[in-house]
A and B are shown apart, each in its own frame.
Chain A
Amino acid sequence: MNPAATVTRGTGENTVVGDDARVPIGLTVNGRVRTMTVEPRTTLLDALRDELGLTGTKKACDRGECGACTVHVDGRRLLSCMTLAAMQDGKQITTIEGLERDGNLHAIQAAFIEHDGFQCGFCTPGQIMSAVAMIEEAKADWPSAATTDVERPFTIAELSAAEIRERMSGNLCRCACYPNIVDAVAEAAARS
């Protein structure tokens, strides 16, 4: 039995997707609806970079280990190298290119500059996308492995350097700029 004949893609009509067929998808990227056709095996990362030319999102390990490809999908940080573009059909995607507003940098981007939170800069888009969403997670009472007592509600005032390091541990910096990254994130979190 061919499963593609028995299941549907999305809510539309049955779509049979062959090995070499390209799938039509629509993503809202940085507020703009973008339609494209991709192979089923195309990751969200490759679609952003190769189909849309948004090369701010970086491809490094391509295995979900380094965090350089972090983007937001429907407001949540995730790794674009570890999900298929076709599985994100219809979703809202934010990349590093979408953070500034009217020519003004996002507070975290500004804090990274102020605190010298990068050297080579390759991991920086992922660090910043991760930090923006991480602060929202902390505001939403999410605990972390650095939280002393997970039973109690977490408040943003408890977002210590140890909390930041733990919550940002999915983003590696080969230049080891970690102290400055933590300072930048701490300041942006305190101001937010």
Chain B
Amino acid sequence: MHPFLLASANDAATAIAAHAADPDLAYIAGGTDLIGLMKDRAALPKRLLDINTLPDMARIEALPDGGLRIGALARMSDVAAHPDVRRRFPVIAEALLFAASGQLRNMASMGGNIMQRTRCAYFRDEDDLPCNKRRPGSGCSALHGLNRNHAIFGWSEACVATNPSDVAVALAALDATVAVRGLAGERTIPFTGFYRLPGETPERDNVLGRGDLIVSIEVPAGAEGRASHYLKIRDRQSYEFAVVSAAAAVAVDGRRIRSARLALGGVAHKPWRLTAAEVALRSASLGDIEALKSALATSFTDARPLAHNAFKVELAQRVALRALQAAGARA
């Protein structure tokens, strides 16, 4: 790794001021993504600010109304093992448990998880191949390169990368929010608006700016939380990023869907909510497979596969269907 300076933060205001003033400073928590990026020279911060020392940011709170507040420094393994997370929102526990390895889940923070950068092999390549996300203006090697693992929705000529987080898919489906503290105080960002599409500026993954510090993630109470499921399809059965994944949560009257929430992973620059399908699924019976398939198809009319990932259009619909059925089985 390149040489850098390391300090640790004792209070959030000081950390935020330092981050706002210094474009070469990066926060570090678990480090499981950042240190890998630094070893691959895909991130070269001159100063690291260790935020693990910030107080009161690792709590996992079951809120009285049935919701959940997860501190940004809570570790993936602690969130996945928490009894209230497992009972209220099994999709969150499952998404976490299907990610990374036992060791990494013990290290990785929730804030860092939702900030992790794409696994696009060109972005992380040690030889520094053209990549607009890594070096703006250098081009996209994946657009006409090996793009089997890349996006089928929302990509631009500048970038076809996907977001690698599993739990972000579950949080997007559950309409979670991100509490962020910045120079101007604290604000709440809906999860569905947290990530950006690449457009002409793929170097920006999300809407955060200098000085912003993720404080917590809040999951609202909802009838759909308990009947939820995360399904992940990958090239290995364990310890691998998703080819395609789906988070589903449903509320039902008998076998009839009152409300469904669905998001896909591995298909876009952000967790991809199936908004049209969610509307089309209302009143459908969980037992009517053809009706479910037709409803899901309404969210795929704008799919734009690349040279090597046309299979994802069909696969994603099957994964969404199975996730929906498994969530329904919990209702």
Chain A residues close to B by CB (< 8 Å): 1, 3-4, 6-11, 15, 17-20, 23, 39-41, 43, 62-64, 67, 70, 76-79, 82-84, 86-87, 130, 133-134, 137, 140-145, 147, 150-151, 153, 165-171
Least distance between B306 CB and chain A CB atoms (Å): 26
Q: Given the interface contacts A18-B5, A40-B5, A141-B81, does A7 sit within 8 Å of B18 by beta carbon?
A: yes
CA distance A152 to B219 in the complex (A): 21
Residues of A within 8 A of B290 (CB): none
Mark each residue of chain B from 18 to 51: 1 if its CB lies under 8 Å from any CB of chain A, else 0: 1101100100101110011001000000111110
Do B103 and A41 have beta carbons less than 8 Å apart? Answer: no
CA distance A3 to B24 in the complex (A): 10
Mark each residue of chain B from 99 to 119: 1 if its CB lies under 8 Å from any CB of chain A, else 0: 011111011000000000000
Mark each residue of chain B from 47 to 65: 1 if its CB lies under 8 Å from any CB of chain A, else 0: 1111011000000000000
CA distance A118 to B286 in the complex (A): 49
Q: Given the interface contacts A1-B18, A87-B52, does A23 sit within 8 Å of B102 by beta carbon?
A: no
Least distance between B318 CB and chain A CB atoms (Å): 20
Do A41 and B239 have beta carbons less than 8 Å apart? Answer: no
Least distance between A112 CB and chain B CB atoms (Å): 18
Residues of B within 8 A of A39 (CB): 3
Least distance between B78 CB and chain A CB atoms (Å): 9
Q: Given the interface contacts A7-B9, A150-B93, does A19 sit within 8 Å of B36 by beta carbon?
A: no
Among B8, B14, B22, residue most surrounded by chain A Cβ atoms (within 10 Å): B8
Mark each residue of chain B from 163 to 193: 1 if its CB lies under 8 Å from any CB of chain A, else 0: 0000000000000000000000000000000
What are 15 pairs between A and B in contact, CB < 8 Å?
A1-B18, A6-B14, A9-B7, A10-B8, A41-B4, A67-B103, A78-B106, A82-B35, A84-B48, A134-B102, A144-B102, A145-B238, A151-B86, A168-B102, A171-B101
